[in-house]
């Protein structure tokens, strides 16, 4: 059959509130025009994030009932440890309550002020953790990553030459580790090839710098390798993931993505000396090393979820959804990051609203228009999230202005996506009427979560 169907049926439903345009205008105003400050109930299709928002399977719910809530050495920990060890091949496994907790422990243990941490593209929490620890977070995406229109297969790759230049300039002593993020979330959910990870590892080995993987979407990345990289068509997604982790010295993970769980994460490594440090700081921050901020039932849900994420039919369905939306929007002429990413569609706002200056936050104009048109909640990945102030206090824009529509796993159905396409079409047709925003309040770190806006020209 040509039609790719959801490889599951629905046992429990959750009502969606259908709001009127007037209600949405009122809600957005009360939220200071920042969709992070809306009540979730007022969002009809919530695409703010694919993180922790997925639907669990009956297998996961059943496993949760087996949760062993013992403080130390629980059965649930053993199951979690076995699943993580099977996929990553790492000896030292520290559960954490989510990905950023793993990042914080990693940075707290091995980053000194002035250290430099390269990545293909740091996620905002990773960058914030590194900077909070006095380090410098540098991005080295491949050159295709900046061209949103080129349909290259692995636009999440790292620029290996630029990485080598960085190592030569800073010296290996200043680089405690290098990260590579799979898939590259902030660069459009684009995958990283096995060849690229191998090349990065070979370079780092020369300088004796450990390689860590930010593995949040490792299963989606494995699917892309299976589909696009020569030699992987007859390998299972588990085998592909195992090969990728075999090239790394450690990893941070948010199980809220490809763990198919609503909470959880982990930090893994091979070096026993690092592991000792991680465990000691982990006890302070997250709890005893066999539960790490998680209930036994959460460990169970993750142990099952990690394997379900590696199910080929599940990934086929997930990617069919994203590709369907991109295909329909492309036909309407809506500019997007091409090709389709793994977990989200990224609208290319620079092309949508070329006349709105970056410092008037065109991404917010699109995000808010999507909400007002149909109650769709998206997120800006542009100057609000990634801009910074230079030494003269002048706001420097982000190289890309994107709006991300991230898809919770196994949550929305085909008709929800048809509705979404209609909402985007309406915004696209009315783009000339959109204007920029002024930021009226911002916090020092991760300002996008809590800042306030006022529409310009109102």
- What's the closest the beta carbon of residue 123 comes to ligand F0G, in angstroms? 3
Of the two residues 67 and 265, which places its CB atom closer to ligand F0G in the complex?
Answer: 265
- The least distance separating ligand F0G from the CB of residue 49, rounded to whole angstroms, comes to 3
Pick 343 or 434: Cβ nearer ligand F0G = 343
Considering the complex, what minimum distance in angstroms separates the CB of residue 214 from ligand F0G? 5
CA quadruple 182, 187, 193, 199: dihedral, nearest 10: -90
- Contacts of ligand F0G in 242-271 (CB under 6 A): 254, 256, 265
Residue 123 touching ligand F0G (CB under 6 A): yes
| Residues 195-234 as x/- pattern, contact with ligand F0G by CB under 6 A | -------------------x-x------------------
Are 203 and 162 within 8 A, CB to CB? no
Kindly state the number of chain residues that form the binding site for ligand F0G, as judged by CB under 6 A: 16
One-character DSSP codes across 248-272: -SEEEEETTSTT-SSS-EEEEES-H
Instruction: Give phi and psi for 65, each to the nearest 5.
Output: -70, -20
* Region of 73 on the Ramachandran plot (φ > 0 left; ψ -120 to 50 alpha; else beta): left
**Beta-bridge mates of residue 396:** 388
Burial profile 329-342: b = 16 or more Cβ within 10 angstroms, e = fewer: beeeebbbbbbbbb
CB distance 126 to 147 below 8 Å = no
Q: Kindly state the smallest distance separating residue 346's Cβ from ligand F0G, in Å.
A: 12
Q: Based on CB atoms, which residue is closest to ligand F0G, 125 or 157? A: 125
- Residue nearer to ligand F0G on the CB measure, 340 or 356: 340
* Cβ atoms of residues 152 and 228 within 8 Å: no
| Interface with ligand F0G (CB under 6 A), residue from 57, 74, 98, 338 | 98
DSSP state of 397: P
Alpha carbon distances (Å) from 24 to 20, 31, 448:
6, 10, 20
Options 37-45, 122-130, 135-143, 392-400: segment touching ligand F0G (CB under 6 A) = 122-130
Nearer to ligand F0G, 144 or 214 (CB): 214
Burial class (CB in 10 A: 0-12, 13-18, 19+), 355: exposed
CB 42 within 8 A of CB 31: no
- Residue 190 binds ligand F0G (CB under 6 A): no
Shortest distance, position 230 Cβ to ligand F0G, whole Å? 26
Interface with ligand F0G (CB under 6 A), residue from 119, 181, 196, 398: 181
Candidate segments 106-114, 123-131, 231-239, 428-436, binder of ligand F0G by CB under 6 A: 123-131
At residue 417, φ and ψ (nearest 5 deg) are -75, -35
Binding of residue 179 to ligand F0G (CB under 6 A):
no
Rule CB under 6 A: is residue 448 a binding residue for ligand F0G? no
Scored b (16 or more CB within 10 A) or e, 205-214 reads eeeebbbbbb
Stretch that binds ligand F0G, among 7-15, 33-41, 92-100, 226-234 (CB under 6 A): 92-100
Residue 49 touching ligand F0G (CB under 6 A): yes
Which of these ranges, 72-80, 93-101, 138-146, 302-310, lies near ligand F0G under the rule CB under 6 A?
A: 93-101
Q: Interface with ligand F0G includes 100 (CB under 6 A)? A: yes
Q: Is residue 69 a contact partner of residue 295, using CB atoms and an 8 Å limit?
A: yes
Q: Considering only residues 88, 104, 119, 126, which one is a binding residue for ligand F0G as defined by CB under 6 A?
A: 126
Note whether 185 binds ligand F0G by CB under 6 A: yes
> What gap in Å lies between CA 136 and CA 125, rounded to an integer?
13
The piece of 97-105, 226-234, 286-294, 310-318 that touches ligand F0G (CB under 6 A) is 97-105
- Distance, in Å, from the CA atom of 434 to the CA atom of 362, rounded to the nearest integer, reads 9
Nearer to ligand F0G, 214 or 286 (CB): 214
Give the span between the Cα atoms of 73 and 305, in whole angstroms.
21
Contacts of 223 (CB under 8 A, 6+ apart): 237, 312, 315, 316, 318, 319, 342
**Does 306 engage in binding with ligand F0G (CB under 6 A)?**
no
Stretch that binds ligand F0G, among 94-102, 109-117, 298-306, 443-451 (CB under 6 A): 94-102
Q: Residues in the site for ligand F0G, rule: CB under 6 A?
A: 49, 51, 98-100, 123, 125-126, 181, 185, 214, 216, 254, 256, 265, 406
């Amino acid at each position: 059959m040509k039609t790719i169907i959801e490889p599951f049926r629905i046992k429990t439903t959750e009502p969606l509130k259908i709001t009127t345009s007037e209600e949405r205008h009122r809600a957005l105003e009360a939220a200071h025009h920042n969709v992070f400050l809306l009540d979730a109930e007022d969002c009809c299709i919530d695409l703010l994030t694919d993180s922790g928002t997925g639907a669990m399977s009956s297998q996961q719910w059943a496993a949760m009932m087996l949760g062993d809530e013992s403080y130390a050495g629980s059965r649930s920990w053993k199951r979690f440890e076995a699943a993580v060890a099977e996929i990553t091949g790492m000896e030292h496994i520290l559960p954490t309550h989510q990905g950023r907790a793993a990042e914080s422990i990693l940075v707290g243990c091995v980053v000194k002020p002035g250290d430099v941490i390269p990545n293909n593209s740091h996620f905002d929490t990773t960058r914030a953790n590194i900077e909070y620890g006095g380090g410098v977070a540098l991005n080295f995406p491949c050159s295709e990553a900046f061209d949103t229109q080129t349909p290259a297969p692995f636009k999440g790759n790292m620029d290996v030459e630029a990485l080598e230049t960085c190592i030569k300039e800073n010296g290996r002593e200043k680089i405690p580790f290098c990260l590579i993020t799979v898939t590259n979330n902030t660069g459009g959910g684009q995958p990283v090839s096995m060849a690229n990870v191998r090349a990065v590892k070979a370079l780092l080995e020369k300088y004796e710098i450990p390689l860590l993987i930010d593995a949040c979407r490792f299963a989606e990345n494995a699917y892309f390798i299976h589909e696009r990289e020569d030699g992987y068509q007859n390998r299972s997604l588990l085998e592909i993931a195992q090969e990728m982790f075999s090239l790394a010295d450690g990893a941070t993970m948010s199980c809220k993505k490809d763990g198919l769980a609503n909470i959880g994460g982990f930090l893994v490594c091979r070096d026993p000396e690092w592991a000792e440090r991680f465990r000691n700081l982990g006890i302070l921050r997250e709890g005893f090393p066999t539960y790490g901020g998680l209930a036994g039932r959460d460990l169970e849900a993750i142990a099952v979820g990690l394997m379900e994420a590696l199910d080929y039919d599940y990934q086929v369905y997930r990617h069919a959804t994203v590709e369907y939306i991109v295909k329909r929007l492309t036909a309407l002429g809506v500019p997007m990051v091409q090709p389709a990413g793994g977990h989200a569609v990224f609208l290319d706002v620079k092309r949508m609203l070329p006349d709105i200056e970056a410092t008037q936050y065109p991404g917010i104009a699109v995000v808010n228009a999507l909400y007002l048109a149909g109650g769709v909640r998206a997120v800006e990945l542009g100057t609000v999230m990634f801009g910074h102030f230079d030494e003269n206090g002048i706001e420097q824009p982000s190289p890309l202005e994107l709006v991300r529509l991230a898809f919770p796993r196994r949550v929305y159905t085909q008709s929800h996506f048809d509705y979404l396409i209609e909402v985007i079409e309406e915004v696209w047709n009315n783009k000339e009427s959109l204007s920029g925003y002024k930021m009226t309040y911002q916090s020092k770190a991760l300002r996008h979560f809590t800042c306030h806006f006022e529409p310009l020209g109102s």
